[in-house]
Structure 1
């Protein structure tokens, strides 16, 4: 069926938020007496939500030990405090995002963000970059009981938009996005410039890889035209 809604991942899909995430991670590590890590390495820790990012970052230590509960809680609190201050400071929209969202909206499609980023950071970030107006629903990492790659957040977003997964398309950058979309029963596109935990998106089982959100809008327009022929 032709989609009437498009769902988007946020970090690594709509915005390059890695500089802020890396700054907050390294500030947290400094609080814990650990050395700073390269930004690209921290990028491989991104994708499964803030707690996993913190856990992975703290596990990179001289002894290679997984942080205990107390250390994890301390690190998580430190990260959240720093990221609250740094959120959006060095983040940037990827090329073609604004044009693509406008094209989807002009085509009459309902739009939503489905991210593993906490609610405390997501709406402020979207508002800062003037994207809030495009989305009829925003589902964050703490909105539902489960995060991506569980399909529940995608299903919830569809419900909020008044549609079903069978009538929606997902656009993301990682295996978490692809697994969630497949489990929800919706087609999925991947952009090649995101994080994907350091893995090549060409190895993901997607319907296609598009160079930008603007190209995703063109892709869907072509598919719609073919289906009408």
Structure 2
């Protein structure tokens, strides 16, 4: 089971562009890629709240303002998703190698479903057996429900499953589901020292999964 943003694909350039366009629509100052890179990792709604608050822990946002901002973000991201994003090194080759040795590969992301399949297709990734998005189920990571649903759907036992991600949300979801978790050291971990949460392994390059 793989996280998407920050694990397989660096999507911050597209996300930052959409966030900045949203802020301009609201007559606010642009945030820029550096801030957005720090804010990414907990789904589109949280990203918008952080952008509106201009801080990692957002203050309470007026409901009407949030809905206006969220729709603006979705519209702009729909226009640019996949244009500037790129695969992290060795992702495509490694996934193809894993496909030869493991019966199932799945993506579990907090990204909305309207963007995920097209983004995967744009980067010509191997076909996944299951794709679960942030709005596929009532709960998303760090809740374990997506991981449990994935294993149940594919008929996999927890002892046969691994979560690969880049953030504390991935670690929390995996541990709550009883699944081993491997974290990449790149990606969007929001300044967290992931080693302190004791994943089974930390890797600096995606191809370490097959070494």
Q: What TM-score, normalized to structure 2?
A: 0.94
Aligned to 2:189: 196
Aligned to 1:136: 129
How many positions carry a matched residue from both structures?
Answer: 209
Question: Residue deviations 1:20-63, cap 9 Å, x none?
Answer: 111101110111111011312111211111111101110128xx
Question: Residue deviations 1:119-172, cap 9 Å, x none?
Answer: 000000011111152x10000000111110000011111122221323200100
- Separation in 1, partners of 2:195, 2:142: 18
Matched residue of 1:196: which SS?
Answer: coil
Q: List aligned pairs for 1:87-166, cutoff 5 A.
A: 87-133=81-127, 135-166=128-159
- Separation in 1, partners of 2:184, 2:60: 32
Structure 1 residues 196-205 or 162-171, which shifts more? 196-205
CA RMSD for the aligned pairs? 1.5
CA separation of 1:94 and 1:39: change in aligned 2, threshold 3 A: same
- Separation in 2, partners of 1:150, 1:47: 14
- Which structure: larger Rg? 1
Aligned to 1:42: 36
Question: Residue deviations 1:198-224, cap 9 Å, x none?
Answer: 323333321111122221122xxxxxx
Matched residue of 2:51: which SS?
Answer: helix
Question: Which among 161, 164, 169 is matched to residue 176 of structure 1?
Answer: 169
Q: Determine if the alignment matches structure 1 residue 26 to structure 2 residue 20.
A: yes
CA contact (8 A) 1:123 1:132 kept: no
CA contact (8 A) 2:96 2:126 kept: no
Q: What TM-score, normalized to structure 1?
A: 0.87
* Alpha-carbon distance, 1:190 to partner: 0.5
CA contact (8 A) 1:58 1:66 kept: no
* Runs of 5+ consecutive residues of structure 1 not aligned to the other structure: 1-6, 219-229
Question: Residue deviations 1:171-216, cap 9 Å, x none?
Answer: 0000000000000000000001101123233333211111222211
- Separation in 1, partners of 2:103, 2:193: 29
Matched residue of 1:47: which SS?
Answer: coil
Matched residue of 2:173: which SS?
Answer: helix
Structure 1 residues 117-126 or 191-200, which shifts more? 191-200
Question: Residue deviations 1:82-124, cap 9 Å, x none?
Answer: 0000100100000010121112111133100000001000000
Aligned to 2:53: 59
